Structure 1
């Protein structure tokens, strides 16, 4: 049975799908326009694109976990873990509020990520139009760097894992949680986009993600207790 921490990351990715479609929906919609007409021919291309995106998330998680483990060598481990853990859960709370529409405090974080994205984005034109999986996969690898508060919130948690392997697995679980939403957005773009734009859907999803952050802060002394079991380990 998977550790509960990875299940939590998967659920955050799944529930944050309303934000995924808002951020990446235009991309998958453009892909759909450029693809062969029959949907049966489109799904391998959408799958390849999303596998590329999830691969990038996983690599970023490996890097964040490695950085987190190095940071813990600079002093007493537990205080460093606790500080990183609190920061990660504050990010989740901001994300939840962002999804509900109550605040835009996470928007500056996404704009900061745009500095790197502006350097990467020109390379995406080399793989457009992405009419084959072979072109969609590298396109997805690049689009994985698109500035996204949802990604950054879970990536902050990867820092707390204190391990490159656990950090990568955490982002992999999160990426797989985002997969159903973006696959549906690609295959049923107009209908699913309208559903995710419903303010009630976004509000409920935001409240649940907010709940993850509040629960995490409440259990900060035990670094999340059972919720992040097997991922965030008190040392």
Structure 2
């Protein structure tokens, strides 16, 4: 099951670009506007995204390792199946949100706000970003922002029952988010306008819904 899940998570990150641009546009735009034009901005953009994806990998390793530690305490297979079902349902809800049909999935983002309240002040001290080290730390902090897209991928990481598997799941997801956020550093408002167009949102949302439905079907026949 996991071999194809990496591809699904990558595509989820890629197709969820509209949500990523909404959540991360502030820091990426600020990063772009406070930098000189040309090559000097790209090391900071890359450092920021390296920190962000690094946090995703850490989250995946922690969740997968937590599940791995509990393998000897209970029968993990039914729990694993249940987690895949919940992750698939959440993916469908995310697709509905991306398509502009329902905002229900955003309600789960409240779960991460207590953690974010402790991280946000530290992030503010790093702005404006002037060095790759600052950008790396800012990206690492931003990786913990409450986000339905990240929570969807995190459930899949938890379902692997392995620290390595969880880390790889979140690495695949994080890699999928990179094209949109790296492009935004160069295109900013133009890219955000394209991603917010109704046909683009609808197509991306329906594609994510289709992947969620397909995962549910795979679980049902496995």
TM superposition score normalised by structure 1: 0.89
Post-superposition shift, 1:72? 3.9
Point out the more displaced range, 158-167 or 108-117. 108-117
Q: Which residue does the alignment assign to 1:30?
A: 30
Q: Which residue does the alignment assign to 2:84?
A: 85
Separation in 1 of the partners of 2:7 and 2:212? 15
> Which runs of no fewer than 5 residues in structure 1 stay unpaired?
224-235
Separation in 2 of the partners of 1:61 and 1:93? 21
Separation in 1 of the partners of 2:188 and 2:14? 17
Q: Which residue does the alignment assign to 2:108?
A: 109
Separation in 2 of the partners of 1:23 and 1:132? 22
Separation in 2 of the partners of 1:168 and 1:45? 24
Q: Which residue does the alignment assign to 2:97?
A: 98
Q: Contact 1:39–1:187 (CA<8 Å) still a contact in 2? A: no
Q: Contact 2:30–2:128 (CA<8 Å) still a contact in 1? A: no
Q: Which residue does the alignment assign to 1:178?
A: 177
TM superposition score normalised by structure 2: 0.94
Q: Which residue does the alignment assign to 1:228?
A: none
Aligned residues: 221
| SS of alignment partner, residue 40 of structure 1 | coil
Separation in 1 of the partners of 2:165 and 2:207? 24
- Which residues in structure 2 correspond to 1:101-180 (within 5 Å)? 101-180=100-179
Post-superposition shift, 1:10? 1.1
Q: Which residue does the alignment assign to 2:21?
A: 21
Q: CA RMSD in A?
A: 1.5
Q: Contact 1:72–1:81 (CA<8 Å) still a contact in 2? A: no
Separation in 2 of the partners of 1:83 and 1:208? 23
